[in-house]
Amino acid sequence: MSLTMYSASVPVFVRMLGNMLNWLDKAQLHADERKFDSTNYLGLRLAPDMLPFSRQIQIATDGAKGCVARLSGTEVPKWDDTEATLAQLRARVLKTLDFVQGFSAEEFEGSESREIVLPTRQGDPLRFDGETYLKHFVLPNFYFHATTTYALLRHSGVQLGKRDYLGAA
Amino acid sequence: MSLTMYSASVPVFVRMLGNMLNWLDKAQLHADERKFDSTNYLGLRLAPDMLPFSRQIQIATDGAKGCVARLSGTEVPKWDDTEATLAQLRARVLKTLDFVQGFSAEEFEGSESREIVLPTRQGDPLRFDGETYLKHFVLPNFYFHATTTYALLRHSGVQLGKRDYLGAA
């Protein structure tokens, strides 16, 4: 089997989103044990000019959703960023898992050279071929927001280690 | 062009290691402006039981070096973790850039199914096929340590943004 655009994206998202579910479960457990409201996690930031915990998960899941939709040439569904509890963030991760698993390898064929156009708030859209989009935009961003989520939980004292970050080997 | 084990690894490392050089330059500039010794960055941690800044860069670079050596079936060079200044960490990133750029796409052919054996300190080695090793071990780890490096600098007030994290689009 050769590496493909599908094999380099969908299984990567599935693994990491599954890991995130485990982190969120451990975060809830930590809150229960320490008797604080787990909603408190949602506003945590690593720096005052960085996005909060809730946005890290929303952006990571948007990244996965947008990638599989764009590479397969289907419309990117719009999900409102309304999650206000840890349980709702968990549901969003689950919804993303369902969504990315709904695509087949065949739908990604030829997506290396598919033109991807991303609107930006500043004006001119970003344009990539599919391969550049996946390797240099989607995956670094996805791992950025996953790692920042993990770091915020570690910073909060949640019992997580590198094995939780990577998931089952 | 199809996605390959080479195209999914070497250019990814080259882009991100280049970005890291830029972060380190901005970190030095920040230290100069605020008149503190940039060596102070090296011991920073996001949590007391996480590895410090210097180790984040050492492990990220080790990840890139080990990946290209193992996927091409060559011996992994051993680099001592002796960096004691920001300039020395910068030199390590440059050395890694040189190293990963010394391999050709041909040397990675068939590496999807190459058996990769990683010794562990705990006992039994980790075993992967090359594709699993790249997608589920090397890249998540590499981005973990890159993002943690970035987060420590952001936490320190260094003027960095998402564009610095991703590099030239």
Q: Which ipTM did the prediction report?
A: 0.96
Smallest Cβ–Cβ distance between B143 and the set A3, A47, A143 belongs to A143
pLDDT in tens, B142-165: 999 999 999 999 999 999 999 999
pLDDT of residue B168: 72
Q: Inter-axis angle of helices B86-100 and B53-71, to 10 degrees?
A: 10
A32/chain B closest Cα distance in angstroms: 21
Instruction: Tell if the CB–CB gap between A136 and B167 is shorter than 8 Å.
Output: yes
pLDDT in tens, B91-114: 999 999 999 999 999 999 999 999
Chain B residue numbers touching A3 (CB-CB < 8 A): 3-5, 8, 112, 131, 134
- pTM: predicted TM-score of the whole model, two decimal places: 0.96
Nearest CA in chain B to A131: B3
Chain A residue numbers touching B158 (CB-CB < 8 A): none
Q: How confident is the prediction along chain A (169 residues), in pLDDT tens digits per residue?
A: 689 999 999 999 999 999 999 999 999 999 999 999 999 999 999 999 999 999 999 999 999 999 999 999 999 999 999 999 999 999 999 999 999 999 999 999 999 999 999 988 888 999 999 999 999 999 999 999 999 999 999 999 999 999 999 997 5
Alpha carbon distance B114, B111 (integer Å): 5
Residue B134 one-letter amino acid: L
Q: How confident is the prediction along chain B (169 residues), in pLDDT tens digits per residue?
A: 689 999 999 999 999 999 999 999 999 999 999 999 999 999 999 999 999 999 999 999 999 999 999 999 999 999 999 999 999 999 999 999 999 999 999 999 999 999 999 988 888 999 999 999 999 999 999 999 999 999 999 999 999 999 999 997 5
A124/chain B closest Cα distance in angstroms: 13
Q: Is the dihedral of CA A29, A34, A39, A44 positive or negative?
A: negative
Cα B122 to Cα A49, A75, A161, B93, distances in angstroms: 40, 47, 15, 28
Closest CA to A46 of B160, B89, B38: B160
Torsion on CA atoms B41, B46, B47, B52, rounded to nearest 10:
-40
For residue B15, how far is the Cα from the chain centroid?
A: 11
DSSP symbols for A72-119: TT-PPPP------SHHHHHHHHHHHHHHHTT--GGGGTTTTS-EEEE-
DSSP symbols for B105-124: GGGGTTGGG-EEEE--SSSS
Smallest Cβ–Cβ distance between A8 and the set B135, B141, B143 belongs to B135
Three-state helix/strand/coil letters over A8-65:
CCHHHHHHHHHHHHHHHHHHHHHHHHHCCCHHHHHHCCCCCCCCCHHHHHHHHHHHHH
Instruction: Tell if the CB–CB gap between B1 and A126 is shorter than 8 Å.
Output: no
B154/chain A closest Cα distance in angstroms: 7
pLDDT in tens, A116-126: 999 888 889 99
Smallest Cβ–Cβ distance between B151 and the set A11, A46, A131 belongs to A46
Place of tokens 């229960």: A32
Smallest Cβ–Cβ distance between B5 and the set A3, A113, A137 belongs to A3
